[in-house]
Each structure stands twice: as structure tokens, then as C-alpha cells.
Structure 1
């Protein structure tokens, strides 16, 4: 049963207003379903949108903030809980430890890094937690195109037995239905 999800997303809002709208909608639905959110701890960008929407809906929001980002990303002051860690490596490990699933919303290089790393961990057997892209306005389509290219060139076989698929949803309700089906 999924009790907590790690959300990876931008510390900036992005150019498309649909990103913030979708991030808030997903956060509210997670909170309403009783699923806590673990995220990077920032009040900035989509990270702040997710935290604010979940908190306003009565949800639990746990931040994990590395020391070198506390000033730049402005730690959210109203979280249910906050873990202060030294490095990004510690942040990733703590978020992975706390979460039962991982969701990537639109974001930058850090979001991509976190998603790929946790999905890689799943594929080498370090965990069996779902990894999901919340694909707002086809934000993740170029990434899936690249994955197809990588597979076509013989460097990966994403559909092989035992591999952990990277899930993709563009509606919060679909994503929540998938989470509710997980053991």
C-alpha cells in the first residue's frame, strides 16, 4: 500500500501555467487520498506549489533539504516535517527511504537526475517501488523519445522480463488509480 510518494519537480515554475495547475491538482488529490508527499523541502517554483496545495488540503508534506540549497531554494516554513541533510546524495537516499513510490513532474536537470537515478535503482533490484512521470502537456515526451532511441540502438531493453517499467500518466485521477492498485 502506498502511504508516501516522493515528488521530484522544478524549483522554478516553468513557462507553462499548466505545470503549476497540474502540480497543485495532483498534490490536492494525494492529500485527499491520505498519501503523504516527500519532496525537496523548497518553497520555490513547482516545489512550493506542491507543498502549499497539499498542506491546504490537510495533507502531510515532508521536506528533505540539503545544506547547500537552504538559502537558494528557501526552505518551506510550514511543512509537517523537515529533514536537513548535508548533500544531494543524502537527500536522494532519504527521499528514497521515506517513499513508497516516485513521481516526476515537470522540472529541470535535478528532476531528471532524481528520476533517472531512482528508476535505475529499481532496474538493478535495489527497490521495487513504482517510478512515474506525470506528463503535463507532453513535457516528458522528448525523454520517452530518447528512451526509445536508446532501446533501438541496443543499449537497453525496457520491456524485458523483470525490468521495472517507467509509468506515465497525464491525469491525476489515472495516477491515483495506479497508486491504489499497488500492493
Structure 2
């Protein structure tokens, strides 16, 4: 399984490096030739930074996804050990325990971790938080699915918490426009 994860990581990085290399060469030729046909393309990618932001965001997302998949399992084990207080247990029953799983077990296990990692990457590394959060989500789900295959692998509370925290971190991590 580790070989599968390593192969997937290498494949993603290889694709990103090839794609960014092609875009950088095209941007260099566009700037050197300075022709009218490519002027819109040049203006767009000179603002983006020759797609280096996308590559950095993708790599950060893959790393955050792998870190979250590894540490999230451990943290979820600790947060699952939190006992439901008797007063709360009297009010909820049956499917209502799903709320406890979402707001306590999964939120403390995966939600806080992915929120902090994506927000830190967006602010400190200046990556695109939307690309980073989507790539982190896909990478983490792929890693968890390949490591823990079972009939109950696609766990809806986990997906709700992970997606909610990743997207909220992306919304808070986006660059603010100057007024």
C-alpha cells in the first residue's frame, strides 16, 4: 500500500512539473517574441506567475492530504474515546448520535487538522487555497480508501467535516483585495 501511495504521489508531482515546465517555456517564448497573437495569454500568465502558484498549490495539497490521512486516523482515535456526557446521551438516540460523530469525533480528528494546515499553507506559503483544499481532499480520501478498504470506507460524516473545514479554510485563506 505504501508503494501505491508513493507511486500516486510521484505521478502527481511528475504531471505538475511537466505541465509547469511547458507553461514556463511558452511564457518565455511569448515574452521574447512579444507578438500580438499571444499578448492576452502573456498578460494572463504574467499575473499568475507562470502557473508556479498552481504547481505549488498542488504539491502543498498533496502533502496536506497525506499528512491529514496519516495524523487524522490517530487523532480520530483519541477523539472517539471521548465519552458522551449522560445529559447529552439522554437527549440523543439512534441516528442523532451522528451529530456527536460529526461535531466531536470527526471535527476534532480531521476537521481542525485540515483547517489549520490549509490556512497555514495559504497564509505562509502564499498558495491558492481553493486548489490546495480540493487536492488535499482528493489525496486524503484516496489515501484512506487505499489503506483502509472496507464496505464502510466511504464515511459520510468524515466527508462532510473534511470538505466543510477545507472549504472554510480556503475561504478564510484567500487573499484580500486592497480597498
TM-score (normalised: structure 2)? 0.26
Question: Which has a greater percent of helix?
Answer: 2
The structure with higher relative contact order (CA 8 Å, sep 6+) is 2
Structure ID, larger Rg: 2
Which structure dedicates a bigger proportion of its chain to strand? 1
For normalisation by structure 1, the TM-score amounts to 0.26
